[in-house]
């Protein structure tokens, strides 16, 4: 039995009946997840390569030059690596044409990098979830040299019960639980029990896991690998760049023109979400300067002036409303990062259930 207490992405009470209905329907058919209707009949291009300033712009320029209609796209960059999914209409994706597209993009992605690059075409229906696939594409090339503070992830053994215990503490954000659980699943671990809690802007997650064959983690090297992979998964979506929202009538070459304008003004696209609805394009870009640092306001103003002040809007990332839980006896002595009273009560609830199942011994 799984129990979740949820809010909307801004931390407010979930009051939209359509969202609640969608959640119920999705969970009721989880054995056969349905693809979004908007992606039916599309071909997906999967791209990976060493990131550089202007690479995303060059990708969209190639697609525009080959008269491809981009229906949707997702792009992430992390530790000098680009992962990108581009959805094209099937009628544009005959075998010979796709071979030419793959050849041009493959040459572009490989460039002069020894790390190489790759591009492949797959039916959109073969992708279970776009964000999850981006995690998989980027995790295939891991660079664990870290020069900035990282999320706190520990992996410990509970040998007497045959579990490994994974603990995550980091800044809270939307889709954090999704990123962590999908990473564990893609690494062939099964989550048997877990507690999730947030206090203020901090999240605390704890999972009891085993391999799919029922065995726990057995070596220090494997523990380090799990910790590093989870840290990477958490960091990939944690973008600190300026959020630029573009809403304008769609047209051929729009993405190429907009991203070229970013490049000409020294902006690096760290993440992108591209979608079309009818004849309108609704795109979100997170941009930094060429070194990954904060963007000068003059560069943002120059880009908006070129693209259109009314259709390209600079916005701060919307973050959940922070709240503090009332202190209680259970967390007065809590000095391990302040997971809060919610974790204390939830932890005791889970503990009571573990006792009733015979998984741990009662000390009361």
Given a contact cutoff of 8 angstroms between Cβ atoms, the answer to whether 233 and 183 are in contact is yes
Half-sphere exposure (Cβ direction) of 186: Cα atoms closer than 13 Å: 22
The residues near 134 (Cβ < 8 Å, ≥ 6 apart) are 74, 76, 83, 84, 85, 236
Model confidence pLDDT, tens digit, residues 188-238: 999 999 999 988 889 999 999 999 999 999 999 999 999 999 999 999 988
pTM of the model: 0.77
CA distances from 308 to 59, 143, 201, 303, 311 (A): 22, 38, 35, 8, 5
- Per-residue pLDDT, 141: 72
Class of domain 152-238+325-356: alpha beta
CATH of the domain spanning 37-143+239-315, picked from 3.40.50.11240, 3.20.10.10, 3.30.70.260, 3.20.20.140: 3.30.70.260
Q: Following DSSP, what letter does each residue of 4-47 receive, concatenated?
A: ---B-TTS-B---HHHHHHHHHHHHTTTSPPPPGGGTTEEEEEE
- Per-residue pLDDT, 356: 41
Average pLDDT of the segment spanning 18-45: 73
Given a contact cutoff of 8 angstroms between Cβ atoms, the answer to whether 208 and 163 are in contact is yes
- Per the model's pLDDT, the better-predicted residue between 184 and 292 turns out to be 184
Judge whether 37-143+239-315 and 152-238+325-356 match in fold: yes
Model confidence pLDDT, tens digit, residues 241-256: 899 999 999 999 999 9
pLDDT above 90 (res 84): yes
Model confidence pLDDT, tens digit, residues 275-305: 998 899 999 999 998 888 888 999 999 999 9
Confidence band for 359, pLDDT divided at 50, 70 and 90:
very low
Confidence band for 104, pLDDT divided at 50, 70 and 90:
very high
Confidence band for 350, pLDDT divided at 50, 70 and 90:
very low
Confidence band for 35, pLDDT divided at 50, 70 and 90:
low
Domain ranges of the chain: 37-143+239-315, 152-238+325-356
Query: Angle of helix 130-139 relative to helix 176-186, nearest 10 degrees?
Result: 60
Cα separation, 79 vs 141, in Å, equals 10
Cα separation, 137 vs 131, in Å, equals 10
Average pLDDT of the segment spanning 43-64: 93
- Per-residue pLDDT, 105: 95
- The length of the chain in residues reads 364
Q: How far apart are the first and last CA of the chain?
A: 24
Model confidence pLDDT, tens digit, residues 308-319: 999 999 986 655
pLDDT above 70 (res 108): yes
3-class DSSP state of 244 = strand
pLDDT above 90 (res 176): yes
Model confidence pLDDT, tens digit, residues 119-152: 999 888 888 789 999 999 998 876 555 555 678 9
- Per-residue pLDDT, 34: 52
Least reliable range by pLDDT among 9-18, 86-95, 197-206: 86-95
- Per-residue pLDDT, 331: 46
């Amino acid at each position: 039995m799984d129990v979740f207490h949820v809010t909307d992405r801004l931390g407010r009470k979930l009051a939209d009946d359509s969202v609640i209905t969608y959640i119920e329907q999705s969970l009721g058919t989880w054995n056969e997840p349905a693809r979004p209707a908007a992606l039916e009949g599309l071909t997906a291009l999967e791209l990976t390569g060493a990131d550089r300033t202007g690479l995303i712009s060059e990708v969209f320029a190639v697609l525009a030059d080959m008269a491809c209609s981009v229906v949707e796209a997702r792009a992430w960059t992390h530790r000098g690596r680009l992962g990108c999914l581009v959805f094209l209409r099937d009628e544009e994706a005959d075998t010979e044409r796709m071979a030419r597209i793959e050849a041009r993009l493959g040459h572009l992605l490989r460039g002069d990098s020894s790390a190489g690059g790759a591009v492949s075409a797959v039916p959109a229906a073969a992708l279970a979830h776009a964000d999850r696939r981006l995690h998989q594409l980027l995790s295939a090339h891991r660079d664990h040299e870290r020069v900035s503070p990282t999320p706190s992830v520990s992996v410990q053994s509970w040998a007497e019960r045959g579990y490994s215990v994974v603990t995550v503490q980091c800044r809270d954000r939307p889709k954090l639980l999704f990123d962590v659980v999908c990473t564990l699943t893609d690494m062939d671990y099964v989550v048997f029990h877990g507690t999730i809690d947030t206090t203020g802007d901090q999240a605390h997650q704890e999972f009891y896991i085993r391999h799919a064959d029922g065995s726990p983690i057995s070596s220090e090297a494997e523990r380090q690998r799990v910790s590093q992979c989870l840290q990477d998964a958490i960091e990939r979506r944690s973008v600190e760049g300026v959020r630029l929202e573009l809403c304008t009538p769609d047209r051929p070459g729009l993405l190429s023109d907009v991203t070229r304008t970013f490049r000409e003004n020294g902006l690096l696209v760290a993440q992108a979400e591209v979608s079309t609805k009818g004849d309108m394009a609704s795109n979100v870009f997170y941009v930094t300067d060429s070194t990954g640092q904060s963007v000068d306001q003059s560069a943002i103003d120059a880009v908006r002036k070129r693209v259109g002040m009314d259709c390209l809007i600079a916005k701060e990332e919307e973050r959940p409303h922070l709240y503090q839980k009332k202190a209680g006896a259970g967390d007065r002595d809590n000095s391990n990062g302040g997971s809060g009273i919610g974790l204390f009560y939830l932890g005791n609830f889970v503990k009571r259930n573990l006792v009733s199942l015979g998984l741990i011994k009662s000390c009361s």
